[in-house]
Amino acid sequence: MYNGKCLRIELSMTWGDSHYLGMTGLEVVGKEGDSLPLDLTMVNASPRDLNDLPEYGQDTRTLDKLIDGHNITTEDQHMWLIPFFCGQHHTLTVNFDKAQTVAGLRIWNYNKTPEDSYRGVKVIHVSLDDTLISPAEGFLIRKGPGNCHFDFAQEILFIDFLQNPTTGLVNSKTTSEDLVYTLKAGSKRQEQPSMDYEAPIMPCGFIFQLQLLTTWGDPYYIGMNGLEFYDQNDEKIPLSDNSILPTM
């Protein structure tokens, strides 16, 4: 964990939008896993919001929306949006009244619609009192789903990156899009993939989808007893109830 007063977050890339960058919510995680109290007097940004542009003046997607607590939403009046200029600095700064122990961040990315989710931040670089916390390539931030059917918060714990700098980072040679796989039980032939791509030996992504196509004979119900994921080091990836979303 890190201790300091000035937390600086450099927003380096979007998920594809070349004009705007935004987020829905931000929390700073303390040493007990709780959210450290934030108010607008402690938070600053450059650019501050869209109203920095001459053609704007009354846009509601202001900095206070980043810490208003309305994070699981598709309503853009609860989101923060700034102009984005590739290659320039886009910075969020949190100044605490006294030194705080900071364990990580929770981020809800821009989430208005699936199309507007490309305005979300993709890579951030984090420092505390001028001590760099993030790896050289930065932290990769998951793109928002464009809906609010589940809590899409991403928690970044700094200790995870101290122990294993590659944990949670997408290899630069791997596609940044989420990978979708089809799992078919009891089939006499191999099921063809639902997307036209060559599956990597060790897939990397944020969202993995298992399509349960057939049962072993029951025409009405389908079920499983358990599901586990393992990383490249053969270590089990922790899953919570919020990690798994059944869909029809």
Residues 230-247 pLDDT 10s: 888 888 888 877 677 766
Higher pLDDT, 184 or 94: 94
Two structure tokens written together for 201: 């030996």
Tell me: pLDDT of 72 over 70: yes
Instruction: Specify the pTM.
Output: 0.72
Write b or e for each residue in 117-145: b if 16 or more Cβ atoms lie within 10 A of its Cβ, otherwise e.
bbbbbbbbbbbbeeeebbeeebbbbbbbb
- What residues does 114 pair with on adjacent strands? none
Residue 152 makes CB contacts below 8 A (sequence gap 6+) with 72, 108, 109, 111, 142, 144, 145
CA distance 72 to 82: 20
Two structure tokens written together for 83: 């102009």
pLDDT computed for residue 146 by the predictor: 94
CA distance 65 to 23: 9
